[in-house]
Amino acid sequence: MQNDKDSNPDHVQSILRSFSLLALPWLSFQRDMLAIVKKGIEDTSHVKPVQKLTLLELHALMMILDPSRKWRSPFDADLEKRVEDTYKETFPKLVSGSIQFIEAQEAILKRLSDALNTVKDGHKDESHSK
């Protein structure tokens, strides 16, 4: 059997309002963080350092896995150029996809925040009308 308190519409509304009050600051924080990440992705000045780090990490990994240079000798001559070309080709696609993903998250967060604000504000309107 259900408890009368649990089936009371005012009690349910109170729980929803409490949830909204807890969730709204978190959603706002998440929206702010997405904006920071998006701005960081759009700033293309980070490309060269990341590209250099990638190349250095690749060379270090190859030195560990193939210290005798048996496997990497055929690739060493133009490996760096090919990695650089591949990176230049794929980075814009990665940026574009990341920005679209962030924009989709921002749209979802906006709708969720709007819905929670409606729940929160709807309770105030009902209490003032009584």
Query: Rounded to whole angstroms, how far apart are CA atoms 13 and 69?
Result: 69
Determine the Cα angle at 70 with ends 78 and 90, to 5°.
Answer: 35
Give tens-digit pLDDT for 65-120.
888 878 767 766 677 677 778 877 887 788 788 889 999 999 999 999 999 888 88
pLDDT of residue 1: 46
Query: Rounded to whole angstroms, how far apart are CA atoms 16 and 116?
Result: 8
pTM, whole model, 2 decimals? 0.56
Q: How many Å separate Cα 70 from the centre of its chain?
A: 41
Short-list 113, 93, 108, 115, CA closest to 41: 93
Residue type, 2: Q
Residue type, 32: D
